[in-house]
Amino acid sequence: MARVELINIQKSYGSVQAVKNANVVFEEGSFTTLLGPSGCGKTTILRMVSGLADPTNGDIVVGGKRINNVPIHKRNLGLVFQNYALFPHRTIGENIAFGLKYRGVSKSDAQEKVRHSLDIVRLPGVEDRYPQQLSGGQQQRIALARAIVIEPDVLLLDEPLSALDANLREDMRVELKAIQDRIGVTTIFVTHDQSEALAMSDKIVVMSAGVVEQIGAPDEVYNTPASEFVATFLGASNLLPATVAGRNETGVIMETPEFGKTCVPVARSITLGDAAKGQLMIRAENLHLTKASITKIDSANAVVEAVDYQGQLARYFVRIGNTQLQAINMISGRPFSAGDKVNVSLIPEECSALPANDT
C-alpha cells in the first residue's frame, strides 16, 4: 500500500488543458473514485499516475517518492483496463503470471502466486483455460487477478465494469469493492457512472473540464455539493434561485418564491454573504408529494404535469407557479396522475445552498 499525492498537476495537449492544477491525495489503503463526464480529465490523471503519460507541470508522489521520471515498469502499479487487455492465445495462468516473469519470480513461486490471486477473485482452478472460454464477468476478474498478483503499491482501474451488462455490473461492483477491502491496496477507480462512485468509494473526486470540482466522501459530495456542476451531475436536482436572508449555527436561510425562508446546510468550500444571490438545491427524492388537502410545513401547492412510472418509484414533474420541479417518490397505493393537485414539501436539512453560479 502507498499514499498517492498529485501536487499542482497539469496536462496540456497543445493549447488544450486536459487537467488544470489538480491537487489530490489518495490515502493509503483507500478506494478513491475519479468521477466525471467523458473528456473531464479523469483518465488523463490515471495515465499520468501509471506512467503512460507525462504531466506538463506538477509532481506525482507515491509512497513519499516523486515518480514523474520513473518508467512504467518500475512503478509497481496494477492496471485494469476497460477491455481487460487479456492475451487470447495465452492461458489464464500465463495471463496472470505475465508481469511476474519480469520481476525475477521463480516458476514455482509464480504458480503459487497465480493460485493465490485466483483464490482472491474467487475463480480457483481455471489456470489452464483460455480467456474466450470465460464469461465477461470472469474475464474481468482475471484482469484484476493479473493486476494484484504483483502485489502492487497502487491499483489503477479504468472503467473496468463498463463492458458488462447492467445486472452483472451491479454484482461485480460489490465483488470488486470486497476484493479491495480484503487486499487493502490503495485503489484509484475511474468512472463516469455516479451509482458506481457512490456505492464503492471511500472518497470521490468530481471533475469537469479538467478541473477538480469537489473532493469528499460520497454522502458529502451528494448532500452538500460545492458547485452547480456537482449538484446536477450527481443525481436529479432542482435548483431554485434564492436570496440569503440570514444565517444561524446550522446553516444559511435561503428565501425562494416557492417555499419562502428555509434554513439549509452549506458546503464547507462555499461562502455566501448576507443578502447574496444563491440557489436552493433540492434533490428530487427529497421533494415529497401528498394530496393537496394535506398541508405541511415548508410546503407549497402544485399541479402534476407528467409522470414517469419506474415500478416501485415514480418521477413526477410538478409545477408551482412558473417553476417546474421533479420529485422522485416511492409509490404507496395508486401513483398520482397528470393533472392532480398536490402538496409538495421539503425537509430543510436535506437541501443545500449554492452560489448563484459557478463563478
Following CA atoms 198, 328, 232, 80 in sequence, which dihedral angle do they give, to the nearest 10 degrees? 30
Cell of 26: 489518495
Could you tell me the pLDDT band of residue 222, with boundaries at 50, 70 and 90? Answer: very high
Instruction: For the beta carbon of residue 204, count every other beta carbon within 10 angstroms.
Output: 28
Q: Residues 185-206: what's their mean pLDDT?
A: 95
Domain with CATH 3.40.50.300 in the chain: 4-223
HEC profile for 167-226? HHHHHHHHHHHHHHHHHCCEEEEEECCHHHHHHHCCEEEEEECCEEEEEECHHHHHHCCC
Instruction: Give the CA angle between residues 324, 326, 328 to the nearest 5°.
Output: 160
Taking only the tens place, the pLDDT of each residue in 173-183 is: 888 999 999 99
Q: Is pLDDT of 359 > 50?
A: no
d(CA 299, CA 294): 10
Nearest of 302, 193, 301, 285 to residue 238 by alpha carbon: 285
Distances (CA, A) of 310 to 195, 233, 330, 355: 17, 21, 10, 32
3-class secondary-structure state, position 37:
coil
Phi, psi of 320 (to 5 degrees): -115, 105
Q: Is pLDDT of 97 > 60?
A: yes
3-class secondary-structure state, position 304:
strand
d(CA 236, CA 285): 8
Q: Residues 333-346: what's their mean pLDDT?
A: 92
d(CA 274, CA 279): 14
Q: Is pLDDT of 271 > 90?
A: no
Domain with CATH 2.40.50.100 in the chain: 228-355
Q: Model pTM greater than 0.85?
A: yes
CATH 2.40.50.100 holds for 228-355: yes
d(CA 239, CA 225): 12
Predicted local distance difference test score (pLDDT) of residue 83: 81
Cell of 14: 497543445
Cell of 112: 503459487
Decide which of 170 and 6 is more confident: 6
Taking only the tens place, the pLDDT of each residue in 114-130 is: 999 999 999 999 999 99
Least trusted range by pLDDT, from 22-26, 258-262, 333-337, 355-359? 355-359
Which residues have C-beta within 8 Å of that of residue 135, sequence separation ≥ 6?
none
Burial track 125-161 (b if 16+ CB lie within 10 A, e otherwise) = ebbeebbeebeebbbbbbbbbbbbbbebbbbbbbbbb
Counting every residue written for the chain, the total comes to 359
Taking only the tens place, the pLDDT of each residue in 1-39 is: 799 999 999 999 999 999 999 999 999 999 999 999 999
Say which CATH topology domain 4-223 has: Rossmann fold (3.40.50)
Least trusted range by pLDDT, from 138-147, 159-168, 341-350? 159-168
Could you tell me the pLDDT band of residue 333, with boundaries at 50, 70 and 90? Answer: confident
Taking only the tens place, the pLDDT of each residue in 232-249 is: 999 899 999 999 888 888
Tell which phi-psi region holds residue 4, choosing left (phi > 0), alpha (psi between -120 and 50) or beta.
Answer: beta
Phi, psi of 125 (to 5 degrees): 80, 15
Whole-number mean pLDDT of the chain? Answer: 91
Predicted local distance difference test score (pLDDT) of residue 8: 97
